[in-house]
Chains A and B, each alone.
Chain A
Amino acid sequence: MAEIRLENLSKEYVNRRRRRRSRQEPYQKPGDRVLVLDGINLEFKEGEMVCILGPSGCGKSTLLRIIAGFDRPTAGRVFIGGKEVCGPRSDSIFVFQYSGLLPWMTVAENVGLGLRHLKDPQEKADKIREYIEMVELEGFESYYPHQLSGGMLRRAELARALAVNPSLLIMDEPFSGLDFLTHMKMREEVVNMHEFLGKTTLVVTHDIDDALIMGDRIVVLSGRPSTVKLEQTLDFPRPRDFERSPELSRLRSEIFLMLGVPYAV
């Protein structure tokens, strides 16, 4: 069902900034057309977790937003399960980089967003409890988002996404802004969740280690305009460890080089 195919996907947008976002960016006048994605051809298999890497500003998030249906490509098409994507659907749930929880709803109400179709209140309450327990947020059902820590916010949003039972989970920088330990724990949880539920998952990240530890496959994009620079299946058993798997750490150095950071190796 959730086999995803990107056909020759391109995205242009009209520049509205006067200033460049970084020194590496080429000069552009407001009104100029900027090509972000340039003919991306990719396929994601059902149940696969694919991590998308790339330098900042290369259009990783734009790619995800197009797959989610929030944005329209300038050219090319996206197919999910054979059908063309033409708008947001509750079949592919987006987990936002900064909290996408609705701040006026409690954790339970947020998790219940995808369960509104359930008529039986008992069944709905049971489901909400099930998913809150899955992310270990028991006892926080009636808390509002602003009362939770960063890690708890991410877990609540993950529970909300999973409760819909979507065929595709899209995560945009799911660990950004978390402290180191929370980051590690969340990463493990997402991997476990994936092993357990086998959902097709797309993760955009700038963290090479995250991508190598988590992904069934990684896709490396080049800087703007983005093209696919590398596609690599990771056949390493989990839990993965750079120390124990020289091949993995060799790949890591390779990607560091590819993204232009030789001294980090």
Chain B
Amino acid sequence: MKLARFHTSVSFLVLILVWEILARFSGWSRYVFPDPLTVVASMAELIQNGTLLKHTIASLYRVTWGFYLAIVFGIPLGILLGRITILHRMTNPLIQFLRPISPLAWIPLSMLWFGIGDRPAIFLIFLSSFFPLTVSTTIAVRNINPTYFQVAANFNFSRFETIFRLIVPAIVPEVVTALRISVTIAWLVVVAAEMIAVQSGLGYLILDARNALRMDYVMDGMIVIGLIGLLLDTLMKRLAKIESARWGTQAR
């Protein structure tokens, strides 16, 4: 475990070193390609005056809402589509039609519908995670070993029990993987949405810094985005390690 952590820190150290060398010898000015030290100094400044925290919280707030909404609607819909073949046949083409449309293409419409503020951004994040979650849940439900449904019938499971003691635990491993992927997509989309629709958040911080030609602030924003992405992934990995979700990784 300690060795693994050491390896991770080595990769980050190498990245910083390469960055330093590039910044020093590329011939670009500090304003175009700031070196690590400048960026760290400016980050300290942003932390001190509270801007960084404010923007980070604004972004996380939107991701949390959009992602929760996607979970609340996407997973039950996925279960429904996985179990009811007629419904699946009717809606699957629709979902596959809407899915490849980038959430960013929805920006104009969502701004018209929801105005300026948190709501269009939340809507875009919802869209970005809703389709992948629904599709993976549907596939996971359809892949459940039919033997388990026979066991359920044999032991007189009620409909409620079939859902909560069979379907839900059976799809947990796949759904956790889907959550891990879609939270990353949601996090990608929030930054893009904030560059257009709102006046706060890390995306806005980057856009605003670009307008002020402060590339060090731009890099600060990028670093925080990366760090939070890393954190979210770690959280999701933790989720996958819960005892009841673990059977999927070792069995089958």
Contact = CB atoms under 8 A, between A and B. Distances in A.
Contacts of A114: 155
Interface in A113-155: 113-114, 116, 144-146
Contacts of A102: 148, 151, 165-166, 169
Given A104-B169, A104-B172, A146 B150 contact: no
B38 interface: no
A104 B244 contact: yes
Contact of B247 (A89, A96, A104, A164): A104
A96 B247 CA distance: 20
Contact of B150 (A88, A90, A116, A164): A88
A28 B153 CA distance: 33
B251 interface: yes
B49 interface: no
A36 B109 CA distance: 59
A87 interface: yes
A89 B169 contact: no
A14 B247 CA distance: 36
Contacts of B252: 103
B247 A94 contact: no
B168 to A, nearest CB: 9
Nearest to B247: A103
Given A100-B150, A100-B151, A104-B169, A90 B156 contact: yes
A177 to B, nearest CB: 15
Contact of A94 (B154, B156, B170, B244): B154
B250 interface: yes
Nearest to B244: A104
Contacts of B169: 102, 104-105
Contacts of A248: none
B172 A70 contact: no
B244 A88 contact: no
Given A104-B244, A146-B250, A146-B251, A89 B156 contact: yes
Interface in B17-59: none
A98 B145 CA distance: 11
Main SS at interface, chain B: helix
Given A96-B147, A98-B147, A100-B147, A144 B247 contact: yes
A145 B150 contact: no
Contacts of A116: 155
Interface residues of B, number: 20
B162 to A, nearest CB: 12
Nearest to A68: B154
Contacts of A93: 154
Nearest to B146: A70
Contact of B153 (A87, A96, A104, A113): A87
Interface string A185-224: 0000000000000000000000000000000000000000
Contact of B155 (A68, A98, A104, A164): A164
Nearest to B161: A116
B231 to A, nearest CB: 28
Interface in B147-183: 147-148, 150-151, 153-156, 165-166, 169-170, 172
Interface string B136-150: 000000000001101
B153 A88 contact: yes
A253 B60 CA distance: 75
B148 A88 contact: no
Nearest to A144: B247
A183 to B, nearest CB: 21
A19 to B, nearest CB: 22
Specify which of B147, B150, B155, B172 lies most central, judged by the most chain A CB atoms within 10 Å of its CB.
B155
A88 B154 contact: yes
Given A104-B169, A145-B251, A94 B150 contact: yes
Contact of A104 (B150, B154, B170): B170
A104 B229 CA distance: 30
B13 to A, nearest CB: 39
A75 to B, nearest CB: 23
A202 to B, nearest CB: 14
Contacts of A68: 154
A118 to B, nearest CB: 13
21 contacts: A68-B154, A89-B154, A90-B156, A94-B150, A96-B147, A98-B147, A100-B148, A102-B148, A102-B165, A102-B166, A103-B252, A104-B169, A104-B170, A104-B244, A104-B247, A105-B169, A116-B155, A144-B247, A144-B251, A145-B247, A164-B155
Given A70-B150, A88-B154, A90-B155, 20 more contacts: A68-B154, A87-B153, A88-B150, A89-B154, A94-B154, A96-B147, A96-B151, A102-B148, A102-B166, A102-B169, A103-B248, A103-B252, A104-B170, A104-B244, A104-B247, A116-B155, A144-B246, A146-B247, A146-B251, A164-B155
